[in-house]
Amino acid sequence: MLRCTRILTAVLLIASTALMSAQKPDAPGREWWKRAVFYELYPRSFADSNNDGIGDLNGITSKMGYLHDLGVDAIWISPCFPSPQVDFGYDVSDYENIDPMYGTLKDFDALAAEGKKKSVRIIFDFVVNHSSDKHPWFIESSSSKTNPKRDWYIWRDGKNGGPPNNWISTFGGSAWKLDPRTGQFYYHYFYAEQPDLNWRNPEVQKAMYDATRFWYKRGVSGFRLDAVDILFEDPDLRNNKVLEGKNAYGDPITDEKFNKKLPEVHDVMRKLRSAADEFGSVLIGETWTSNVSELKDYYGEHNDELQLPMDLMMTEFKGLSADQYRKHIAAVNAAGHWPVYVITNHDIVRSYTRYADGAHNDDIAKMMAMLYLTLRGTAIMYYGEEIGMENNDPKSKDEVQDPIGKLGWPLEKGRDGERTPMQWNGGENAGFSKAKPWLPVPANYKTHNVASEMKDANSVLSFYRQLLALRHKEPALLEGNFQLLNENDANVLTYVRRYKDEAILVVLNMSASDQNVGLDLSPLGFAQPRLSVLLTSFHKPLPGMAAELPMEPYSAFIAKITK
Ligand code: GLC
Ligand code: CA
Q: Is the CB of 190 under 6 A from ligand 1?
A: yes
Q: How far is the CA of 188 from the centre of ligand 2 (A)?
A: 30
Would you call 426 exposed, middle or buried from its count of C-beta atoms within 10 A (0-12, 13-18, 19+)? Answer: middle
For the CA of 43, the nearest ligand: 2
Q: Is the CB of 453 under 6 A from ligand 1?
A: no
Q: Give per-residue pLDDT as tens, 224-253.
A: 999 999 999 999 999 999 999 999 999 999
Q: Is the CB of 90 under 6 A from ligand 1?
A: yes
For residue 190, give the ligand 1 atom closest to its CA: 6
pLDDT per residue rounded down to tens, the chain (563 residues): 223 333 444 434 333 333 333 345 555 567 999 999 999 999 999 999 999 999 999 999 999 999 999 999 999 999 999 999 999 999 999 999 999 999 999 999 999 999 999 999 999 999 999 999 999 999 999 999 999 999 999 999 999 999 999 999 999 999 999 999 999 999 999 999 999 999 999 999 999 999 999 999 999 999 999 999 999 999 999 999 999 999 999 999 999 999 999 999 999 999 999 999 999 999 999 999 999 999 999 999 999 999 999 999 999 999 999 999 999 999 999 999 999 999 999 999 999 999 999 999 999 999 999 999 999 999 999 999 999 999 999 999 999 999 999 999 999 999 999 999 999 999 999 999 999 999 999 999 999 999 999 999 999 999 999 999 999 999 999 999 999 999 999 999 999 999 988 999 999 999 999 999 999 998 888 888 899 999 999 999 987 656 799 999 999 999 999 98
Question: Is 226 among the catalytic positions?
Answer: yes
Question: Which amino acid, 246?
Answer: K
Atom 4 (ligand 1): residue with closest C-alpha? 90
Q: How far is the CA of 182 from the centre of ligand 1 (A)?
A: 29
- For residue 549, list its beta bridge partners: 517
Alpha-carbon distance of 558 to 296, in angstroms, equals 30
Helices (H), 245-360: 265-277, 292-296, 322-334, 351-355
Name the packing angle between helices 105-117 and 202-218 (round to 10°): 50
Distance from the first to the final alpha carbon of the chain? 23
Question: Is 278 among the catalytic positions?
Answer: yes
Q: How far is the CA of 119 from the centre of ligand 2 (A)?
A: 25
Q: How far is the CA of 312 from the centre of ligand 1 (A)?
A: 14
pTM confidence score: 0.95
How many other C-beta atoms lie within 10 A of the C-beta of residue 29? Answer: 7
Alpha-carbon distance of 53 to 76, in angstroms, equals 21
Catalytic residue among 69, 109, 277, 278: 278
Q: Is the CB of 64 under 6 A from ligand 1?
A: no
Q: Is the CB of 347 under 6 A from ligand 1?
A: yes
Backbone φ and ψ for 189, nearest 5 degrees, come out as -70, -30
Of the candidates 96, 94, 91, 85, the one whose C-alpha atom is nearest the C-alpha of residue 55 is 85
Q: Is the CB of 227 under 6 A from ligand 1?
A: yes
Catalytic residue among 193, 226, 363, 418: 226
Q: How far is the CA of 99 from the centre of ligand 2 (A)?
A: 11
Helix (H, G, I), strand (E, B) or coil at 441: coil
Atom 2 (ligand 1): residue with closest C-alpha? 226
How many other C-beta atoms lie within 10 A of the C-beta of residue 428? Answer: 12
Name the packing angle between helices 202-218 and 265-277 (round to 10°): 30
CA atoms within 13 A on the CB side of 436: 1
For residue 345, give the ligand 1 atom closest to its CA: 8
Helix (H, G, I), strand (E, B) or coil at 244: strand
Question: Which amino acid, 312?
Answer: L
